[in-house]
Chains A and B, each alone.
Chain A
């Protein structure tokens, strides 16, 4: 057993893992704080997780059988962390999250649409003004002050992430297009695509918590729909479309 405590979205979580590689996954999130949540991996859980991924495989074409046990364990822990944090007003969203001038922008879209590619254009445009929060699975936390975006150890194939948290500025649903165009959408319209992009629990009570968090996020977030190509101008169009929202009269 490999034992360590990781602080994720403000919660110290004691993790007992089977593989030393797993500690590496959490290396930027380790803490000495007293844990309030604990998660234990086991061979049975790894087998069940592999099976679960194999079933998802049919739709998403994941090369599940090529995954090492350690990679499967990391996936199990992501699922378990999302489950445990769901009752603490935290939801995990599949998307690429970037901070510019201390505000978080999340791009969500089905895999392969080009979220990471678009965010790479942002990083090119902004240089050090842009900080990658997480390229794959950032966390959203509801609080009295608003919605915060947190990094997580599960940061996609390019491992782009930073252990930071910033206020959420916008959620943008990305589609590929020939031209670059962004528009604000009503938050009732943003709800369903957001629902599609987040982690869901099969346990009724946890799912009820997740739905409550999503309602909270919906009320406090600006949503956008972006059609974009892969030219540098796409980043300019999307940033310009979202940055000044607070000054617009509705």
Chain B
């Protein structure tokens, strides 16, 4: 799976704001407000990847059990899917 859009990000307090770029950016029509772990997932999704790969990447950076992180990743990916932001 991979994001349909490319994003540039900027920090705002504890949040990360992701702004779409690229030829299809106009179709997106908005920005994403993310916490830093969601932003890390978004970054990984700029390239073709899988849930397992994302989880392994996050395990290197964040403390937490694999199950807990997997659940978080799946929940976030589900949100992205519902917003039609993923191509799979």
Contacts and interface: CB of A to CB of B under 8 A. Distances in A.
A192 B23 CA distance: 22
A204 B22 contact: yes
Interface string A180-217: 00000000100110010000111110011001101100
Contacts of A195: 17, 19, 31
B12 A211 contact: no
A202 B10 contact: no
A195 B22 CA distance: 17
Contact of B12 (A55, A188, A202): A188
A108 B66 CA distance: 46
Contacts of A55: 26
Contacts, number: 37
A204 B21 contact: yes
Q: Per DSSP, are chain A's interface residues mostly helix, strand or loop, or mixed?
A: helix
Nearest to A211: B10
A212 B8 CA distance: 11
Contacts of A212: 10
Interface residues of A, number: 16
B31 A203 contact: no
Nearest to A214: B10
Interface in B1-46: 6, 8-13, 17, 19, 21-23, 25-26, 31
A208 B8 contact: yes
Contacts of B10: 211-212, 214-215
Contacts of A208: 8
A191 B21 contact: no
- Looking at A191, A192, A207, the one whose CB has the most chain B CB atoms below 10 A away is A207
Contacts of B26: 55, 202
Given A188-B12, A195-B19, A204 B6 contact: yes
Interface of A: 55, 188, 191-192, 195, 200-204, 207-208, 211-212, 214-215
Given A200-B19, A202-B21, A202-B26, 19 more contacts: A188-B12, A192-B17, A192-B31, A195-B19, A200-B25, A201-B21, A202-B22, A202-B25, A204-B6, A204-B8, A204-B21, A204-B22, A208-B8, A211-B8, A211-B9, A211-B10, A211-B19, A212-B10, A214-B10
